[in-house]
Structure 1
Amino acid sequence: MPQTHDVVIVGGGHNGLTAAAYLARAGLDVLLLERDDHLGGAAVSAQAFDGIDARLSRYSYLVSLLPQRIIDDLGLDIRLVRRRFSSYTPDPRDPSRGLLVDTEAGPEASAAAFARVGAEADATAWSSFYADTARVARALFPTLTAPLPTRDEARALVADERVWNAFVERPLGEAIDGCFVDDLVRGVVATDGLIGTFTELDDPSLDANRCFLYHVIGGGTGDWDVPVGGMGAVTGELARAAREAGTTLVTKAEVLAIGAGIPGAPARVRYQHEGVEHEASAPTVLANVAPAVLDRLLEAGSARPATGATPSAGVESRHGTPPTDLAVPAVVRARMRELATPEGAQVKVNLLLTRLPRLRDASVRPEEAFAGTFHINELASQLDAAYRAAARGAIPDPLPCEIYCHTLSDPTILSPELVASGAHTLTVFGLHVPDRLVERFGNDELRSRLEAAVLASLDSVLAEPIRDVIMTAPPEPAEGATGRPCIEVKTTHDLEAALAMPGGNIFHGPLSWPWAEPGDALDTPAARWGVATAHPNVLLCGSGAVRGGAVSGIGGHNAAMAVLESRGA
């Protein structure tokens, strides 16, 4: 006989933990199943380098979209540090100068910063452009933890047709080109539309627009903050809240199949734990996995055998049978069909340094430059060239990169000895590295090539080779052994293998607009909260839900609200 619960949650990432905490606090019997030996999914901290007491945010690294409402509702002890310096961008045309964006600078100092890179005309435009994004953020961010507004309702909330058309109706590239003159400034703005998204700014699909929107509305301000203690501190608090509320948390539980059954009947989840197969039954199953993975689990649980996939929460086929559309929200279904399978487009590199490197730009201190987002080789023209190179199967050269230094804002992730020594972490996020490159180069070769490309991109703006300041891990206890440089590279394939993200897509698939489109049915709690699938008893609760993506807890919150609404709570 199967175990019976009120809700079974598949996947113990931050959204699954959020949903579990809300539902258990409401008195429901909640079982959460996580295939890994730990909770947290992509939002974890890890000792990435053996023998060195440094716990890095291994995959995700900054927080913007996590609503204060969730923190307050669940009583989470989470501290976020606001960064004074928004960004620094060395000028690839002349690396002895760069654009430092200081949020505390007055108008004159800000104008001078733009003038240093020959972009005087863009200083005023910058303020105007981000006043527009702030207006959108204030209007739309509060809606993310409420039932879906319609497109017309969202448009009315923004209450500015010029702004709405610029960010929603027309390709993002048009808005950027219409506001800014300088190639460097256009590139800095454009990157928020390209993080983890393989597209061009002028693509009529508007994928860049949706990516950009989620990057600029967080918290109603668009700020990206550093979590004290690393990402593991965030999910650790969510796990604590779920556990203390009474959730049964089971790790090393590999889900094999989800049987949705007939309408009105409980759903069944078959899973393996410590070599023994189990079955759990519940009126509702929440899926904190990518929609493409959920489709495979649903097929495995149906009478019809899955084609091209095995019944596992892992993703064994890189570009196999397209999703069956069982779980994909209507607003992204067409894009999923077009792409066949989700595809990530980034490389993540973690570095541990003995100290911050010197810059070619002697007018800016490394402590200022690395305190915000450090943009490298991200002129708008370079971003365009990088996209075209990757589209034809090449690794971009130079590779556009974004970097941040966690330890300048929060040194607690390092031991006191490392802090005293002057050590720092760097997180590098390389753009326009689509998953398709794995098939051309093979993952090991691609990882090696991308490591070289990232270090070369860094070296292009530094006054010394980055390898000279990369810390070396203690050698293995063997004769003649030497220590290894503290460099960790994660390709899209590595993300897929570790996190069951198809194609290494960090958003679980194409992002959707945070509203209901005309014609979308909103006749059930699940539909109104943007978490519906084709099965009434199986809901999305992760990044694949409408308004999913990034470390936000929004997918989990909204799934929990749909469950409680359906139960009349």
Structure 2
Amino acid sequence: MTCMPDSMRSRYDVVVVGGGHNGLTAAAYAARGGRSVLVLERADHVGGAAVSAQPFAGVDARLSRYSYLVSLLPRQVVEELELPITLKRRRWSSYTPVADGGLLVDSQDDAVTRASFRHLTGSDADFEAWGRFYAMTGEVARRLAPTLTEPLLPRSVVRDRVVDGVGEEAWRSLFEEPLGAALRRTFADDVVRGVAATDGLIGTFADVDEPTLRQNRCFLYHVIGNGTGDWDVPVGGMGAVSGALRDAALAAGATIVTSATVTAVDPGTAGAEVAWTDADGRTQGVTAGHVLAGCAPAELDRLLGGEPAAPGTSPEGAQLKVNMLLTRLPRLRDGVDPVAAFSGTLHVNESLTQLQHAHAQAAAGQVPDLPPSEIYCHTLTDRTILGRELAATDAQTITLFGLHMPARLFRADPDGARDQALRATLASLDSVLAEPIEDVLALDADGAPCLEVRSPVDLEGDVGLPGGHIFHRDLGWPFAESDDDAGRWGVETAHPRVLLAGAGARRGGGVSGIPGRAAAMSVLTE
């Protein structure tokens, strides 16, 4: 049930604020653990940013509207909750077009990848460095991924695991010095450096040389998932993942209420009080043994009655999200097979120099003149998101994720800045194509191009991401940074009865379910 029940309890063991994929994960685990659970979701559907939608009028295509690939969702969560989902590996890893022949990373053929590196760089040196670098990150991932579903380990223990198994160089490169230093030391070619750097910049507005190392933390989460770092395609779209989590929560006995806007949380002493309004605008209230906040920490602070964040301290997302339906894949200037180029991640104008230049422009308050972006095509791996007639054609969906588009660029004039950013981004894409992308855009039932664009400010309004930050706030290291946190779950707040259960928890970020599970485990293991 995802609507207002005829009768409800006045008290639940657990009230989950927000029915995104992490909130649903928390609800499923808590209910399976014998707790009474109520989920309150402000939208008229669950899933948060992990949803599928049919955005183009009269077009039978269900796109993963916001989040689109899965890496961090542990197999352990899938197995424990018995989720009937299928994740497919992409045939190619990535392609990066450049003027005289691009870089193709073939996940199944080292000879093809070596030849591509040699053509780009003139030698085998960066190919061999690439192999060593990602063997290193893979070994780090194998040692750290299992810890993501356990209580937090002390930093010293994690360091010993990395150093003893992989070496001092791995710890220094990933955890102690800015990512840019490691990339420049490892690779000679500017394009190769940039392709590696993007994992540290997706969803994080940062320079690769920032001393805060938030780019390193972002990079780590992008390469650690399930011990492999593979980014897989959810068959049926992202809605299939959140739908399976919803069904698991309902099957375990959780109650889910949509169109329910939580207005306040009072931690209390005997029980937390949660106030909310229903679809008819009526005020409701419920007492909870624990409140698990699947919303962003900034939103939880507001619900708890906290003061607004000081200027310049609020979370800030930094991406432009563009969904498109094409009549066919476009041809590329360098003549590479479009299927190979679009099957993995297509890197557009993402050399390290280009990334740094775009960051500097955005930091100065300017939409980058040549925005870097990453493109992925769901339908080359899974055509089930298309209706039968559409799937029988050459139609393809593509998702473009534009980097270095911080929310600050869109605050003063959201519509005008969005249009400017879209024009610049499509021009950047066209610079590597042999034909304008507009020439292959499908049209909807009203004759409009099948193109949807969302800025960080749009995402803030659409799905409650503060500043459009896809991780809710800057990512933290996946271990305890103080002795007090060791052995805890990384979900605690100043109030014992109120726990974080969303992407803003210690091991949040991405479509993972990890913080939702952690919040439930904190309750179940008290």
Q: One fold, TM greater than 0.5?
A: yes
Q: Matches of residues 128-527 of structure 1 in structure 2 within 5 Å?
A: 128-158=132-162, 159=164, 160-262=167-269, 265-274=270-279, 275-299=281-305, 307=307, 321-322=308-309, 339-362=312-335, 364-440=336-412, 442-475=413-446, 483-522=447-486
Q: In structure 1, what is the equivalent of residue 119 of structure 2?
A: 116
Q: In structure 1, what is the equivalent of residue 3 of structure 2?
A: none
Are the equivalent residues in 2 in contact too, given 1:119–1:182 (CA < 8 A)? no
TM-score (norm 2): 0.96
Task: Choose the corresponding residue for 1:538, options 479, 492, 498.
Answer: 498
RMSD over equivalenced CA pairs, Å: 1.3
For 1:109 and 1:360, locate their aligned partners in 2 and report how far apart those are by CA, in whole Å. 20
Helix, strand or coil: the match of 1:528?
coil
Are the equivalent residues in 2 in contact too, given 1:8–1:32 (CA < 8 A)? yes
For 2:382 and 2:420, locate their aligned partners in 1 and report how far apart those are by CA, in whole Å. 31
For 2:268 and 2:510, locate their aligned partners in 1 and report how far apart those are by CA, in whole Å. 32
> What is the deviation of 1:360?
1.0
For 1:467 and 1:29, locate their aligned partners in 2 and report how far apart those are by CA, in whole Å. 52
**2:160 alignment partner AA:** A
For 1:196 and 1:541, locate their aligned partners in 2 and report how far apart those are by CA, in whole Å. 20
Question: Which segment is superposed worse, 153-162 or 353-362?
Answer: 153-162
For 1:412 and 1:447, locate their aligned partners in 2 and report how far apart those are by CA, in whole Å. 31
Q: In structure 2, what is the equivalent of residue 479 of structure 1?
A: none
1:497-535 CA distance string (max 9 Å, x none): 01111100000001000000134344xxxx701100000
Number of equivalences: 514
Helix, strand or coil: the match of 1:281?
strand
**1:55 alignment partner AA:** R
**1:111 alignment partner AA:** R
Residue 89 of structure 2 corresponds to residue 85 of structure 1? no
> What is the deviation of 1:408?
0.1
Gapped runs of 5+ residues in structure 1? Answer: 300-305, 308-320, 324-336, 476-482
1:457-507 CA distance string (max 9 Å, x none): 1110011111000001112xxxxxxx1101100000110001111100000
Following TM superposition, the consecutive aligned residue runs of length 4 or more in structure 1 with deviations greater than 4 angstroms are none
Q: In structure 2, what is the equivalent of residue 561 of structure 1?
A: 521
Q: Matches of residues 63-74 of structure 1 in structure 2 within 5 Å?
A: 63-74=70-81
For 2:245 and 2:284, locate their aligned partners in 1 and report how far apart those are by CA, in whole Å. 26
For 2:122 and 2:46, locate their aligned partners in 1 and report how far apart those are by CA, in whole Å. 46
What is the percentage of aligned positions where both structures have the same residue? Answer: 58
For 1:109 and 1:224, locate their aligned partners in 2 and report how far apart those are by CA, in whole Å. 21
Residue 63 of structure 2 corresponds to residue 56 of structure 1? yes
For 1:190 and 1:16, locate their aligned partners in 2 and report how far apart those are by CA, in whole Å. 31
For 2:429 and 2:495, locate their aligned partners in 1 and report how far apart those are by CA, in whole Å. 48
Name the CA shift for 1:291/1:119 in 2 (closer, same or farther; >3 Å): farther
> What is the deviation of 1:211?
0.3
For 1:536 and 1:12, locate their aligned partners in 2 and report how far apart those are by CA, in whole Å. 22
Gapped runs of 5+ residues in structure 2? Answer: 1-7
For 2:119 and 2:390, locate their aligned partners in 1 and report how far apart those are by CA, in whole Å. 35
For 1:278 and 1:195, locate their aligned partners in 2 and report how far apart those are by CA, in whole Å. 39
For 1:239 and 1:402, locate their aligned partners in 2 and report how far apart those are by CA, in whole Å. 30
Are the equivalent residues in 2 in contact too, given 1:390–1:432 (CA < 8 A)? yes
1:264-299 CA distance string (max 9 Å, x none): x20010000022111110110000011011000001
For 1:84 and 1:384, locate their aligned partners in 2 and report how far apart those are by CA, in whole Å. 30
For 2:410 and 2:113, locate their aligned partners in 1 and report how far apart those are by CA, in whole Å. 42
For 2:209 and 2:433, locate their aligned partners in 1 and report how far apart those are by CA, in whole Å. 32
**2:207 alignment partner AA:** E
Are the equivalent residues in 2 in contact too, given 1:119–1:185 (CA < 8 A)? no
Helix, strand or coil: the match of 2:93?
strand
> What is the deviation of 1:2?
7.8
Are the equivalent residues in 2 in contact too, given 1:350–1:428 (CA < 8 A)? yes
For 1:431 and 1:218, locate their aligned partners in 2 and report how far apart those are by CA, in whole Å. 21
